[in-house]
Amino acid sequence: MNTLRVGDTVPNFTTTDHNGNEIALSDFKGKKLIVFFYPKASTPGCTSEACNLRDNYKALQEQGYSLLGVSADSQKRQKNFATKYDFPFQLLADEDHSVINAFGVWGPKKFMGKEYDGIHRMTFKIDENAVVTDVISKVKTKDHAAQLL
């Protein structure tokens, strides 16, 4: 797993959001961005994390941030997740792992004694020039916005 670090430039990516729109990193040129990766839409931890970010979205916007959530779920699953919890930010349906691989968040994980490959729950803060300014690898799902603010 070759994860992006503080000071790295994020490689450009293009993928689809939960509404079927094409989204590219270049769409955010000149803007600050938070990209949060989560293992699976509508699971308890991912729901807590995304709802916490939703509830604090205005504070993040006031600091100049746009927000993107990313998992390998299908567009339909992301749309259902976004609609059910009324998320004001885009969720990316990264089924081909282009964004996941660009950030280097796919790799070996352990859960209940089993090892498998999956998405690591991580969040990246990115500046106006697509440079990583912060990496949060120990995400607190119920209090994630406080880690970012």
pLDDT > 70: percent of the chain: 99
- The answer to whether residue 9 sits within a structural domain is no
54 belongs to a structural domain = yes
Q: Is residue 134 part of a domain?
A: yes
At residue 15, does pLDDT exceed 80? yes
Residues in the chain, total: 149
Domain limits for position 78: 14-148
Q: Are 82 and 91 in contact (CB under 8 A)?
A: yes
Q: Which of 17-21, 44-48, 110-114, 136-140 has the lowest mean pLDDT?
A: 110-114
pLDDT of residue 14: 94
Q: Which pTM does this prediction carry?
A: 0.95
Q: CB of 82 within 8 A of CB of 100?
A: no
Contact 53, 61 (CB under 8 A): no
- Does residue 6 belong to any structural domain of this protein? no
Question: Which pLDDT belongs to residue 147?
Answer: 94
Residue 136 has pLDDT above 80, yes or no: yes
Q: How, if at all, do strands 90-93 and 65-71 pair?
A: parallel
Report the CATH number at residue 62: 3.40.30.10
In a domain, 138, yes or no: yes
* Pair 92, 68: CB distance under 8 Å: yes
pLDDT at res. 110: 84
- Percent residues over pLDDT 90 in the chain: 94
Question: Mean pLDDT across the stretch 10-37?
Answer: 96
The confidence score (pLDDT) of residue 112 equals 85
Q: Is residue 129 part of a domain?
A: yes
Residues with Cβ within 8 Å of residue 44, at least 6 apart in sequence: none
Asked whether residue 8 is domain-assigned, the answer is no
Catalytic residue numbers?
46
Mean pLDDT score, 95-104: 95
How many folded domains does the chain comprise?
Answer: 1
Q: What average pLDDT does this structure show over 33-47?
A: 95
Q: How large is the average pLDDT for residues 11-40?
A: 96
Query: Is the per-residue pLDDT at 138 higher than 80?
Result: yes
